[in-house]
C-alpha cells in the first residue's frame, strides 16, 4: 500500500527516515489508517534494525513487573482519575513494609524484575517514609528495579519537603530508585492540564523532573493520555516537547500512549476507539524519530488491539503487570499471563523476549 504513495514527497520523507514537522504530522494524520500504519511499521524497522545484534526487527519484548500503589491518598483530585481517595475516606490506605513484601515475594516467584511504584499526592507522608521504603526494597529485593514516582509526585515532594527538585531526586536515587515512569504526563499543554488536573504540576515542571533525572543517569519512559478534551494540535505539541527533550538528554527509553478511560471518573468526554489509538501510536512512532522503543497499550485497548499495534509502530508488548489499580478503577480491566503474551507475539510473526527496564534481553 505504501508503494502506491511513493510519488508523495512526504511519504518518501518518512520512508527515508527523515524528521517531520508538526505540520507534516498533521497531514499524515489524515491518511487512511492502514497506510499510516504501514509507514509507522517502516519507521519501526528503521529504528530497530541494528538492535539485538541486527535482529531487532524480529524481536518483540515484554517485561514481568507489578504495579504497586503504595498509597491511594491524593489531594489533586484529577477529573480523569477514579482511584484516588482522601484521608477521610474509609478505604484510604498506606502500605506497610510487610504488605509490600507480600507483593514483591509474589513478583519474585513469577520471575519479575521490576516494580512500578506510584502513589497519590499524600499530604502527610514525610521524606523518611519514602527513603525507608526504597532502602527496604533495595536491601531485600536487589534483583527488582524500582521504576517509581511520577514527575507530578516529585514536584509534590519538593513542595512538601521544602527541598529543590534535584536534591529530592538525588536522595531517592541514593536510596534505591532505579528509573522514573512517565506517569502524569497526560497532555503536556497547560491549557489542557488546567482543565483536567488543575492542581497537578504544569508541563514545564513535568519535563524538568525528567531532565534532572536524565542528567543524573536515571532513565525514564514518556507517555501520553489522549482522547478527552485535547485537540490534534495539543497532541502534536505534546510529542514535540518530548522529542525536544529527548534531543537534549537522550534519557527516555520508550514512549507509551493510551486513550482516556472514562468510567467512574468526573471528566465527561466523548471517548475515542481503538482506531484512534492505532492512528496516534503510528503517528507517534513516525514523529518521535529519536525514541527507540514504542510500547503497545494492551492494558487499555485489550489483547487483540495490543497485538495489532505491533503492526502500527510498536516493538514492545508492555508488561505482564501482575497488579494494576488505576486504569481498572476507571472501568477497564485486562489481564494477561506471560504465556499468553508470548503467544500473541508469535502469532503476530515475531519472537517474544523478556526484557528489563533498559530493553536488555533476559531470555
Q: Where do the domains of the chain lie? A: 20-354
Residue 152, SS3?
helix
pLDDT of 122 reads 73
pLDDT of 41 reads 98
pLDDT of 299 reads 85
pLDDT of 6 reads 41
pLDDT of 263 reads 53
Q: Please tell me the distance from the alpha carbon of residue 241 to that of residue 263, in angstroms, as a whole number.
A: 29
Question: Would you state the CATH architecture of domain 20-354?
Answer: Alpha-Beta Barrel (3.20)
Exposed / middle / buried, residue 363 (Cβ in 10 Å: 0-12, 13-18, 19+): exposed
Q: Please tell me the distance from the alpha carbon of residue 36 to that of residue 1, in angstroms, as a whole number.
A: 10
pLDDT of 249 reads 98
What is the mean pLDDT, run by run of 10 residues, along the chain of 363 residues?
Answer: 56 97 97 98 97 97 93 63 60 86 94 91 87 98 97 93 97 98 94 89 97 98 94 98 98 95 55 90 98 94 94 96 51 70 97 97 88
Phi-psi region of 77 (alpha: psi -120 to 50; beta: other; left: phi over 0): left
Sheet holding 252-259, edge to edge: 65-69, 114-118, 145-148, 177-180, 219-226, 252-259, 293-295, 316-319, 59-63, 351-354
Q: Please tell me the distance from the alpha carbon of residue 110 to that of residue 212, in angstroms, as a whole number.
A: 33
Buried residues in 211-240 as b, exposed as e (16+ CB within 10 A): ebbbeeebbbbbbbbbbbbbeeebbbbbbb
pLDDT of 119 reads 82
Torsion of CA 266, 67, 138, 295, to 10 degrees: -100
pLDDT of 5 reads 43
Query: What are the grid coordinates assigned to 45, written together?
Result: 524497522
Q: Please tell me the distance from the alpha carbon of residue 147 to that of residue 117, in angstroms, as a whole number.
A: 6
CB atoms within 10 A of CB 289: 17
pLDDT of 106 reads 93
pLDDT of 83 reads 55
CA distances from 336 to 306, 310, 353 (A): 11, 16, 15
The answer to whether 32 touches 298, Cβ cutoff 8 Å, is: no
Residues 6+ apart with CB under 8 A from 170: 216
Amino acid at each position: 500500500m505504501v508503494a502506491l504513495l511513493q510519488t508523495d514527497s512526504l511519504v518518501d520523507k518518512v520512508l527515508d527516515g527523515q524528521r517531520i514537522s508538526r505540520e507534516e504530522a498533521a497531514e499524515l494524520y489524515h491518511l487512511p489508517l492502514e497506510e499510516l500504519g504501514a509507514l509507522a511499521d517502516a519507521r519501526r524497522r528503521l529504528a530497530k534494525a541494528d538492535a539485538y545484534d541486527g535482529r531487532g526487527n524480529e524481536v518483540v519484548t515484554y517485561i514481568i513487573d507489578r504495579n504497586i500503589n503504595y498509597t491511594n491518598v491524593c489531594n489533586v483530585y484529577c477529573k480523569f482519575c477514579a482511584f484516588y481517595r482522601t484521608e477521610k475516606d474509609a478505604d484510604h490506605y498506606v502500605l506497610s513494609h510487610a504488605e509490600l513484601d507480600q507483593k514483591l515475594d509474589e513478583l519474585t516467584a513469577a520471575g519479575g524484575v521490576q516494580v512500578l511504584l506510584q502513589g497519590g499526592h499524600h499530604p502527610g507522608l514525610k521524606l523518611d517514609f519514602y527513603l525507608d521504603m526504597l532502602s527496604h526494597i533495595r536491601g531485600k529485593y536487589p534483583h527488582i528495579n524500582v521504576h517509581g514516582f511520577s514527575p507530578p509526585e516529585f514536584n509534590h515532594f519538593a513542595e512538601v519537603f521544602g527541598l529543590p527538585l534535584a536534591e529530592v531526586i538525588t536522595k531517592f536515587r541514593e536510596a534505591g530508585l532505579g528509573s522514573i515512569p512517565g506517569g502524569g504526563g497526560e497532555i503536556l499543554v497547560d491549557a489542557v492540564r488546567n482543565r483536567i488536573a488543575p492542581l497537578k504540576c504544569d508541563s514545564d515542571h513535568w519535563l524538568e523532573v525528567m531532565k534532572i533525572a536524565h542528567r543524573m543517569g536515571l532513565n525514564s519512559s514518556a507517555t501520553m493520555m489522549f482522547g478527552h478534551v485535547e485537540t490534534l494540535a495539543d497532541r502534536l505539541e505534546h510529542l514535540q516537547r518530548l522529542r525536544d527533550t529527548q534531543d537534549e538528554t537522550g534519557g527516555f527509553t520508550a514512549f507509551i500512549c493510551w486513550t482516556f478511560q472514562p468510567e467512574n471518573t468526573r471528566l465527561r468526554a466523548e471517548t475515542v476507539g481503538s482506531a484512534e489509538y492505532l492512528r496516534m501510536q503510528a503517528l507517534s512512532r513516525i514523529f518521535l524519530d529519536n525514541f527507540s522503543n514504542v510500547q503497545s497499550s494492551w492494558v487499555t485497548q485489550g489483547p487483540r488491539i495490543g497485538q495489532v499495534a505491533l503492526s502500527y509502530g510498536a516493538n514492545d508488548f508492555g508488561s505482564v503487570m501482575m497488579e494494576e489499580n488505576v486504569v481498572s478503577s476507571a472501568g477497564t480491566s485486562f489481564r494477561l499471563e506471560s504465556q499468553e503474551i508470548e503467544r500473541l507475539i508469535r502469532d503476530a510473526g515475531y519472537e517474544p523476549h523478556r526484557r528489563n527496564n533498559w530493553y536488555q534481553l533476559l531470555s
